Every structure is written in C-alpha cells, then in structure tokens.
Structure 1
Amino acid sequence: MTTVFIAGSISITRLHEKVQERIAGIVASGLDVIVGDAGGADSSIQACLQDLGATRVTVYCTGKAPRNNVAGWPVHYVQSKARAGSRAFFTAKDRQMARDGDYGLMIWDCKSTGTLSNVLELLGHRKKSLVFVNKTRDFAKIGNPADLEQLLQLMSDSARRLADEKIGLSARLAALGPDRSADDPSPDAATVAAQTVAAEAPTGPLLKDPTGGTAMKLRLLLMSALRDHILQSRLSEPAAARLLGVPLSRISDLMRAKADVFGLDMLVNMATTAGLRVDMRISDRPDQPSGGIPGLGFQDSLL
C-alpha cells in the first residue's frame, strides 16, 4: 500500500481548501498517511485527518511522547541521540518519514527550511513531492532538481541565504546532480546495505582540474553519505567527532554541508574510518539509469 508523507511549515496554522481537498482524496483512496507531531502545519494536518475520519494514519515523533496526536493514532517513535529540542533531534524523525513514505505532500510558506529539507530528502530517495505554495495558492510537482530550482525562485534572497546557512540548501541540491529524478529506479537494497559511496567521474578536461566541478561533486557525495551514516547511527556530533577522529567543528561543518572546508582526501579518510566503502569508477560516459519507481502507485488524479 502506498504511504503519503504529509508535512508543512510550522508557520501555517490553517490549511487552504485545495490542500484539504487533496488530503480528502488521499483518505478516500485508502492510502496510508504518515505525519509529524509538531505544531503549525502538522497539527492542522492532523485536525483535517481527524475531521475526515482517517484511520490509516501514523504519527512520527522523537522523544518519549508525541506533542500532538489529536485522534490517538498509532505512534512511530524515532530515536535520536542529538540534544533534545535541537534541529538534529527533529531531523531524525523527518528523515525517517522521507524513507518510509512513497510520496510527499508538502505545504510551504516560501521560506521554511524544514519543508525544503523534506523535499530534498524525498528527492534523494528518488521520490516525488507535491508542494502547495501558500503564496501562490497552487501546487508544484517536484520530481527532479530542476523542478525544485524552479520552486526556489519564489524565495526571497534573505530566505535563500538563511536556508543555505541552516540546511546547506545549495550544496545539498548540487549533490543530487542535475539528472537525479524520481523517475529513475531506486538503488537496490544490497547496495544500500553495503553502505557504498560510488562516484563516477568522466575522463577528460575536468580531471585535469582537481578544484573543478568533478572534485566538488565527489566531495558533496562523500559528505552526503557521511551525514546519512551519522544520522542513521544516531550519533551525537561529539560522538561522531570521536568516532571519525576529527574536531567537533568539522562535524558541524559536515552537517551544514560546508564543502569548501573539506579536502577530498580528508573525506575519504573519514568515510573509511566510519566503515563506508568508497568505490570510484572512471568511465568515458557514465550510464544513466532509466525507469520508474516500483510500487509508487500514487494515482495521477491526486497529483
């Protein structure tokens, strides 16, 4: 059964009727819904689901008990070793929902970094999002980085700068690569389980410039894999620093996607210390995957 991850900006306390209609369609189709326990959009989404008599709902939370669970739905507890109440503490829950959901329905206020992070996480797993933009009162389909870049045009310069500071927005978007698409097949479970960082670098002029785009792409790929490893291992930043043998400030830089402070050799050493396997394949023309998402099953009428 398809699972829809529904979330939105904490500043949004009332759902537009278009969003309510979309949620009603999801419930009527018998799809599973996962939602967070925060105030703002999460609480409004829960209230809408309760009004619709939805039963196929699971509330995700970090901590001992959900802050909001208006209908007493089943709760999925996500453990986090980060400081309670910190961004990293709640990020663990959001990342888990992005992994567990097949599709995202997001409500965005044109500045919330949490909502953007959810869209990025879903794209990283080759999953689509439908984003309702409160400012335009319309939906945007996000299936690849180009779609997200278009959506980001709605942000003010100051909001974009803040997103870069808080979640490393530009670096994370660049790490996805221009061809990353929800229509490409997901990596197989064996590859994920092996915790392999695989980078394909084309031969040619780029390799002659170690400070160029290829080197940056490799750094971003390694940083993304290390961040995922730290979060999935539920390590606090001090614990991660001890494990990887680097200063705490470097872990902070890693979590904020500050690629310019890392050399490629340092990141490879950190990945090796973490137990990740780093494979580099050199090819003239990397193959591009094609195909669809198995079992997505989300009706076009609801998009």
Structure 2
Amino acid sequence: MEPVMHQVWPRVLQRLRRTLILSKRNHSGCAEHTAVPASTHSRHIRPTLLVSRIYQPTSLRDVGQESRLQGEMTCKSQRLMQQAGLIHPSNPGCYYYLPATVRSMEKLVRVIDQEMHGIGGQKLDMPSLCSADLWKTSEHCPQCKTGTLVESRGIEVGHTFYLGKKYSQVFNATFSNVQNKPSVAEMGCYGLGVTRILAAAIEVMSTEKGIRWPGLLAPYQVCVLPPKKGSKMDEVAVLADNLVHTLGETLPGLRGEVVLDDRTQMTIGKRLKDASRLGYPYVIVVGQGALEETPRFEVICQQTGETMFLGQDGLLDLLGRVETV
C-alpha cells in the first residue's frame, strides 16, 4: 500500500510543474491558426464571464500592511490570498474560502483524482460518524515507540502511513490471494492537504506583490482588458467582447476560463495592477492595435513577466497550448 501511495504525490507535483514549464515554452513560435467566429446562438448560451460579477473585493488594497507590523501575517500566501479576496478570516487560524479559491480547489481535486485513476485507485465515501465499538476494537492510532525526532523547516502538504496488518487483523479484513486462499490485507493511509497544497503553491511561486499560480490551478486562465469607458477607443470595447467569445468557441479548453474585466470606469493601469495581484496566467489588453488592418493584441504572461504583441492567429496558437483541467 505504501509504495502505491508514494506514487500519487510525485505525479501531482510533476503535473503542476509541467504546466509552468509549458507556459515558459509557449512563446517560442506561433503557427497559423484560423479563427472561427462564435455564432449568435453559441454566444447566447455562453454568456461572457465578467470581472464585475465575480464575488471578490472591488478594491484590492494591501490588507496585510498593518497586520504584518503587528506580527499577525505569518506568511506571504496568507497575505496575498486575503488581499486578493480569495480567503476571508473567520476564527483565529480559520478562513472562509471564497468562490475563486473553491474553483481552484476543485481543479486540484480533479488533478488528484486523475492521477489516482492513473495508478488504478478507486474512490469511496464513508460516513464521518461511526460506532464507538470500532474505536474500542482498533485501539485508535498506533504509537511511535522508537526512532529519533529531527526538527526541520518546511511546508507539510501531505503524509503517508504504512499500517501493515495492525487493523486488518483486528477487523478480519481478508482477500483471496492468487492461490485462492484467504490472506490478511496490508493497509496504508495517506492524506493530501488540498488547501495546504494550494497555499504552498502560492507561497513558493508568487512575488511579494502578486499571486502566481501553477497553470492548472488558476481560477481563470485569461483576463481580457478593454479600454476605459469614454476614451477615444470606445469602439475597441466591442472587439474585446468578441475576442472573449472567439477564444471560448475556438479553443474548447478555454471555455469558462476567460474573463472580461468590464470595470471600464477604471483605467487600464489600475485594472492591470489588479490582474497582476490576482495572478491570471495571461492578460490581454485590447487597445488601438486591435483596430489595425491586421489586429494586434498586447499579451502579458504573468509567470515570466514577458509582454508580446500578437495577431489573432498568434494569440490563438499561444493560448491553444494552455493545459486545463
């Protein structure tokens, strides 16, 4: 049991790392890609995801500054997640997980489920409450009677325990072996801390000013920024909305992953700052270049800090390589 459990965690980590490496390699060249305009019917059934309707703070102020001075904010991920409206404090050490965080956790669970399925694992659901007789029979958890305790610093995101036959013998948990004879099962247990993995990823990958996600876990992959309302580029706003639909319809993997920052009462600079803090892997600024005979878009890759100016074909080629779950 223990060797099998040890396969799951490295596979999950490797997959999360792979999406980061792919995001860095995606800029090496752009092949031709024919855009397929979204039909009127498909636009009707796939409404645009708007930033103004996402349940998050309207002003992403630095909520951690005062708390850090008082020693309350103990880590970067805690500060950044609270600042971005991903979590909200409840009781000491406890937090509400807001919609974007729940969305990321659901993605992480899907990754873990896929990797478990890949090694032949199966899921079952058990009740939280059980008979007291089971606790009395099992004598609770085994005690560590030998060994040396070594103190080290790190982030605990999971654990594995090899239980052997301690509990299976007590409960007579047997199976038929290859000789078709009853054998006592060997047991192991593991725990992957979904919220811990999420916080640890943010802690390790983020800058001091903004969240950086493993590509697979970002709540949304792309944020499209139209110009400020009332500016000389009002007509570009329609092109931004069209781009959101084109991405969703042309690239099936990005359906539900592209948001439009419709807070056009705010400047592009302010919205870019918010997008950096929230950590969308890709930010697309739809400006004057979109009106050219061959439209061009400013594309910012948050992971690398690279800014590119791409035509629609190049943009579709770049985002077509984004892995989603």
Query: Which TM-score bucket, shorter chain as reference?
Result: under 0.3
Q: Which protein, 1 or 2, shows the higher relative CO under an 8 Å CA cutoff with sep ≥ 6?
A: 2
Query: Which of the pair has more CA radius of gyration?
Result: 2
TM-score by length of 1: 0.24
